[in-house]
Amino acid sequence: MSDETAFSQPQTALSAQILEMSYTALIVYRAVYVATKLGIPDLFEDEPLDSETIARATNTHPRALYRLLRTLSSAGIVSESRDHRFMLTPLGRMLRNDVPGSMRAWIIFSGEAFYLQAWQELLHSIQTGKPAWDKVHGMAFFEYLRQHPEAALNFDEAMTGFSHGEAQAVVSAFDFSCFRTVVDVGGGHGALLATILKSHPQLHGVLFDQPQVVEGARSHLANNGLMHRCEIIEGDFLQSIPRGNDAYILKYILHDWDDDRCLTILNNCRRAMTFDARLLVVEAVVPAPGEPHYAKYQDLEMLLLFGSQERTVEEYTALFERTGFRLVRVVPTPGQPLSIVEAVPV
């Protein structure tokens, strides 16, 4: 084998890998978005469907739709038979509206133009350290959601979808039986709190979030038969947090904010907590250099959207020390990229 041949083989493999990252991944991402936006996954029941039937149901061009479905078949979202009929795969089922932990809302939210426009300005964030979202939209992320109710609804539903599997993992990893009351700070629609309460019948819960969010929490907790064990309190964790409870959970809260705002949130938690209470920060913790991890991808999104970051254990330790806490341990969750960072008042 010549030196040129030996060199070309790994080069070819590396080129294919770059092509997969830049070309194939983009096509699959957009194809999944279009299929989800059209509601195609929700059309499937127990029988296979041909593209003409799906085209009639979605008011689309039959041949063009077939080509979309064939692409989705290559990606594992649907399967295609020899007679060109399609069935939804287990992976594709996660795009339906009626499955626990559905990814439908996230795919639609992240596929819309307003979200993609921010990613087109990633260079701005890298050059300045500031959120591209603000540059594109002229306002902060959560202010944009306040002004665009449909986007806010998809975002809230997406977070609830994420929470289904994550909540089960948190409950599996951490023993809540020593507590009497648990406060979910910025708890959204209550998916995590509901899972904790159902797993621990002795617990009382407090869901704390902004007024425009908690209506969704009321219906979710009521549907789970938990309202008699749960109090819903409206408020802003940048101002104050309900006092005197046993455990305070911050799930996907601190990564939305810069260090100064995180210090405000943690100081508010510390003022609300008794000496024997516990703080549970649920986040994707950045691991050691050179170790691939979901947190390192999500960290770039935090920069883009908020100018914030994911953090290492050392960075959490430093935040805690400045706000009257001591980091006790970091508990990984099974099957999820999240960890539970436990801290105590000092």
Q: What is the set of active-site residues?
A: 255
CA angle 115, 281, 337 (to 5 degrees): 60
Buried b / exposed e across 140-151, counting CB within 10 Å, b at 16+? ebeebbeeeeeb
Q: What is the 3-state secondary structure (H, E, C) of 36-62?
A: HHCCHHHHCCCCCEEHHHHHHHHCCCH
Count of positions (residues) in the chain: 346
Contact 304, 133 (CB under 8 A): yes
Name the token pair of 33: 């978005």
Give strand ranges (E) for 63-127.
78-80, 85-88
Contact 282, 251 (CB under 8 A): yes
Name the token pair of 74: 């290559």
Name the token pair of 324: 């009257």
* Residue 277 exposure: Cα atoms within 13 Å on the Cβ side: 22
Give strand ranges (E) for 122-187.
181-185
Nearest C-alpha neighbor of 239 from the set 218, 215, 211 = 211
**19: CB partners within 8 A, 6+ apart:** none
Q: H helices then E strands: how many in the chain?
A: 16, 10
Cα–Cα distance measured from residue 45 to residue 41, given in angstroms and rounded to the nearest whole number: 9
